[in-house]
Amino acid sequence: MPSDAHVPAIAGDVVVTGAAGFIGSHLVKALRQSGRNVVGVDRRDMGVHTGAVPAPEEGAFQARTGDLATMDLSSCLKGVDLVFHLAALPGVRPSWTEFPEYLHCNVLATQRLLDACVQAGVGRVVVASSSSVYGGADGAMDEGMLPRPTSPYGVTKLAAERLALAFAARPDAALSVAALRFFTVYGPGQRPDMFVSRMIRAVLRGEPVEVYGDGSQIRDFVYVEDVVRALLLAGAPARHPDDRAEVLNVGTGSSVSLNRLLSLTAELTGRRPDARYGPTRVGDVGATTADVSRARDRLGFRPATDLRTGLAAQIEWTRRRTDGPRRPRTAPGTATTGRRA
């Protein structure tokens, strides 16, 4: 992770829910490298974190496998003052048909964790929210806008962050909360169903790239290491009363279209993406761009990784794990995007 003099030191044991996930695994690595002991909670196997013996300067990792909505949380939170709550069921499209599971994972599990944090006297919880709570909007999205989620997934993420703010407002709780609305997070280890991952794999293998819509939709792509830095900054104790319950965007403040992303991938790989355009999926929005001024003012957060650099890193990471063809289909510098009817 890039060094940042403004990232505060975090003392004591830290709990990370969703520790086996894309962002969670990066966060666990950063915390351990800073010397913190981490308790990771996830329903999935966390052998990726426990398989290696930590270096002397690294913090220890303790895995707790279970469902936040049903497992015993008191032992996980004993003596803990900071929790990063990243566990959630992601995905816009499946949320239309699997809503009960989204309620279970994103809302009920969050409520139960927050209640356990209050009972354990946890001082700070950083909750992962999503730009999906906004729905679509023209121009930059700021935290003062009325949320208008356009998918069941977005509804559950909005419910989770509102639950967190409600718990922080309890007069009998020492808890403070920061809900971070992540925009489109990419980088090494990204979920395989996300567009950047699908696109890179397909291009490296010489396979068609499925694009939902005409590719003109724009997204604010933010690199995972920048997101980890924002999480670490948000993990610092609340500095004034307004910080006890706050919502912050985490993005870059600029957006590009999917077609531009395809072109940039062609430039970086020397291979022409075979883009196959299809219908827009229900719940997808046309544009997302983060207004990041509040995160800058409150946390000192500034994204450090430009899209070309971050995309190149994810391409190289994927290339090392891909069995696809190695020879470019077109010479570097001559690639263009194509459209199939």
User: What are the φ and ψ backbone dihedral angles of 61, each rounded to 5 degrees?
Assistant: -130, 130
Asked whether residue 74 is assigned to any structural domain, the reply reads: yes
Residue 106 belongs to some domain of the structure: yes
What integer pLDDT is reported at residue 331 of this predicted model? Answer: 38
pLDDT of res. 334: 35
Residues noted as catalytic: 153
Residue 202 is assigned to a structural domain of this protein: no
Residue-wise pLDDT tens digits, 44-102:
988 765 545 456 568 899 999 999 999 999 999 999 999 999 999 999 999 999 999 99
Q: Is 87 inside any structural domain?
A: yes
| Residues above pLDDT 70, as percent of the chain | 86
User: Across the chain, what does the average pLDDT equal?
Assistant: 89
Residue 327 has pLDDT above 50, yes or no: no
> Where are the alpha helices (H) located in the chain, listed in sequence order?
22-33, 47-50, 74-77, 99-102, 109-120, 152-168, 195-205, 224-234, 258-269, 293-299, 307-319
Q: How many domains does the chain have?
A: 1
* Boundaries of domain holding 100: 14-187+223-252+290-305
Angle between helices 258-269 and 195-205 (to 10 degrees): 40
Q: Quick check: helix, strand or coil at residue 66?
A: coil
* First-residue to last-residue Cα distance in the chain: 42
Distance CA 95, CA 105 (A): 11
Residue 85 included in any domain: yes
Report yes or no on whether pTM surpasses 0.75.
yes
Contact by Cβ (8 Å): 2, 26: no
90 belongs to a structural domain:
yes
Q: Determine contact, residues 92/284, Cβ cutoff 8 Å.
A: yes
What's residue 58's pLDDT?
82
**pLDDT tens digit sequence for 106-161:** 999 999 999 999 999 999 999 999 999 999 888 999 999 999 999 999 999 999 99
Residue 43 lies in a domain: yes
Q: What percent of the chain has pLDDT over 90?
A: 79
Q: How many CB atoms lie within 10 A of CB 249?
A: 28
**Domain harbouring 81, CATH code:** 3.40.50.720
93: in domain:
yes
